[in-house]
């Protein structure tokens, strides 16, 4: 997905990077219980907006090849929280993602510094995203009840072109 990364160099080696990406879509599936009440089924999809802030250490900022590592926080806003069972004893019962998610980010990448402040960038990030899943239906007395956790935890691979000002 397209994203905008804004970096601010605090020192020669330390940079803070804000990563703004468009919403991402993830399919949510369930593996049924052992008694076959629910079965294996697709529950729908969730759309996420995941702004991320990392602090990076650049090993060779004045060189053409500048590798770096980073760590930070991620706030994921759940744009679409509604899922539902489509078959089995719970067919038609509603499921929702309870809340947005705060998580950690680990990052490794490199910049290839070109002329006039231009650069090529590549990186990989591991992002932790998790929240509670609640259900409302006959077996929960029509009250929202936590039934599980939703852990997405994606690996994000990026490549881009940048300009240093």
User: Once rounded to an integer, what is the mean pLDDT over residues 149-164?
Assistant: 89
Q: Are 79 and 110 in contact (CB under 8 A)?
A: no
pLDDT in tens, 42-56: 777 778 888 999 999
Q: What pLDDT does 16 receive? A: 97
137 or 73, higher pLDDT: 73
Distance CA(8)–CA(114), nearest Å, equals: 18
The tens digit of pLDDT for each residue in 3-41 reads 889 999 999 999 999 998 877 777 777 766 555 556 677
Beta bridge partners of 27: 45
Quick one: what percent of the chain has pLDDT higher than 90?
Answer: 45
pLDDT of residue 68: 98
Question: Considering only CA atoms, which of 26, 23, 22, 24 is closest in space to residue 45?
Answer: 26
Please state the rounded mean pLDDT for residues 43-71: 92
Supply the mean pLDDT for the chain: 85
pLDDT tier, 99 (very low <50, low <70, confident <90, very high otherwise): confident
Average pLDDT over residues 65-94: 82
What does the H/E/C string look like for the chain?
CCEEEEEEECCCCEEEEEEEECCEEEEEEECCCCCCCCCCEEEEEEEEECCEEEEEEECCCCCCEEEEEEEEEEEEEECCCEEECCCCCCCCCEEEECCCEEEEEEEEEEEEECHHHEEEEEEEEEECCEEEEEEECHHHCCCCEEEEEEECCCEEEEEEEEECC
Report the pLDDT value the prediction gives residue 88, as an integer from 0 to 100. 65
């Amino acid at each position: 997905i397209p994203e905008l990364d804004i970096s601010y160099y605090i020192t020669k080696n330390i940079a803070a990077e804000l990563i703004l990406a468009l919403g991402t879509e993830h399919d949510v599936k369930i593996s049924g219980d052992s008694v076959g009440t629910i079965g294996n089924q697709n529950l729908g999809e969730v759309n996420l907006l995941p702004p991320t802030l990392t602090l990076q250490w650049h090993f060779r900022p004045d060189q053409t090849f500048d590798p770096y590592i980073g760590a930070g926080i991620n706030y994921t806003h759940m744009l679409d929280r509604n899922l539902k069972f489509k078959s089995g004893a719970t067919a038609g019962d509603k499921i929702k993602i309870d809340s947005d998610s705060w998580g950690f980010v680990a990052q490794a990448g490199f910049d290839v510094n070109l002329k006039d402040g231009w650069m090529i960038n590549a990186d990989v990030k591991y992002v932790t995203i998790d929240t509670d899943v609640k259900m409302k239906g006959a077996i929960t007395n029509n009250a929202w009840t936590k039934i599980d956790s939703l852990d997405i935890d994606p690996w994000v691979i990026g490549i881009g072109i940048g300009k240093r000002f």
